[in-house]
Structure 1
């Protein structure tokens, strides 16, 4: 048994030596070989950062009047669809033109929205409807990937969908609206408290 094992080991060494010798001879005959040098560590870091995926930026707008749980839940759901959530706070004038006067002024609504942990940035004076100009600004200046809104219809006074252009562009995502809570309902039910002059 030992003699057979020794013969196999010897044969393996001889064959390995022949292969190694042939490889060295081939390298010698092919001329000098240059071994590529590695780029500096800083260059490797920059290359790695470039390959890293760009964060997905999502946009959601709203009045956020009399901030409540439904608003926070919408912002939470929107943020879950991307890596960064940019929120457009609709101007007082736009709210008046489309829904009636807001209870809370825009600067206070911006403070409340900015305090929500899922919000990364705010765009003040956002339009009520996603126009082509504003949509292009979102995509090109703010690098927005998707526009988010709840599954409740958002209609303009003329009956058209405020998000029609975003849907047509294929850059629209929908979240579930929180049932049972709405600023419009709160203001409507308590209008005597909120607007005693009405």
Structure 2
């Protein structure tokens, strides 16, 4: 049985996460996913928008995931050994970096293969978070009780739709 392992924060779960998990599951019999705990994120100077308990439940609910476990540290080699994983799946943004060249040697000595998957273009949790922050900043600048629409184009469509809906129906007899 081939056991695969991958890790991630999975904050604001998106299609890129799903692609990673689907592709990984296609290359192993059992897929175990390490979900980064909030404390490890804080240690790295980041903060999750979604709490760990919710993120791990979302990952567990994915049909490609056989087990989801907390990721308390960055030691993927120890995690693979502990879980009996013979394959580690990671994003290709790590491919051929000096850090991962060293990791590859260590993993190879342990009999663990590293498989790099391409990132899904155009989507990332960072991009989603940035967009949400921009929207929050934009909407918070509008005063309470203002009649100014947040999304003018949507408001115009809404007004046009409302006018269309309010037309009396013609009855044919």
Question: What is the TM-score normalised by the length of structure 2?
Answer: 0.67
Structure 1 gap segments, 5+ residues each? 1-54
Q: CA deviation at 1:188?
A: 1.4
Structure 2 gap segments, 5+ residues each? 141-173
Aligned with 2:93: secondary structure? coil
Aligned length: 133
Corresponding residue number in structure 2 for 1:138 = 80
Corresponding residue number in structure 2 for 1:34 = none
Q: 1:166 to 1:78 in 2, by over 3 A?
A: farther
Corresponding residue number in structure 1 for 2:151 = none
Aligned with 1:190: secondary structure? helix
Corresponding residue number in structure 2 for 1:67 = 13
Corresponding residue number in structure 1 for 2:48 = 102
Where does 1:82-161 land on structure 2 (aligned, <5 Å)? 82-98=28-44, 100-127=46-73, 129=74, 131=75, 135-139=77-81, 141-153=82-94, 161=99
> Deviation string for 1:114-159 (max 9, x for gaps)?
01101001111342x3x3xx523421x31110111011139xxxx9
Corresponding residue number in structure 1 for 2:127 = 185
Q: 1:142 to 1:188 in 2, by over 3 A?
A: same
Which structure would you say has the larger RCO, counting Cα contacts within 8 Å and 6 or more residues apart?
A: 2
Q: CA deviation at 1:97?
A: 2.9
Q: CA deviation at 1:192?
A: 4.0
Q: Give yes or no for the alignment of 1:58 onto 2:4.
A: yes
Paired residues of 2:5 and 2:33 also in contact (CA < 8 A): yes
Find the structure with the greater CA-based Rg. Answer: 1
Corresponding residue number in structure 2 for 1:78 = 24
* Pairwise CA RMSD: 2.5
Aligned with 2:48: secondary structure? coil
Q: Give yes or no for the alignment of 1:167 onto 2:167.
A: no
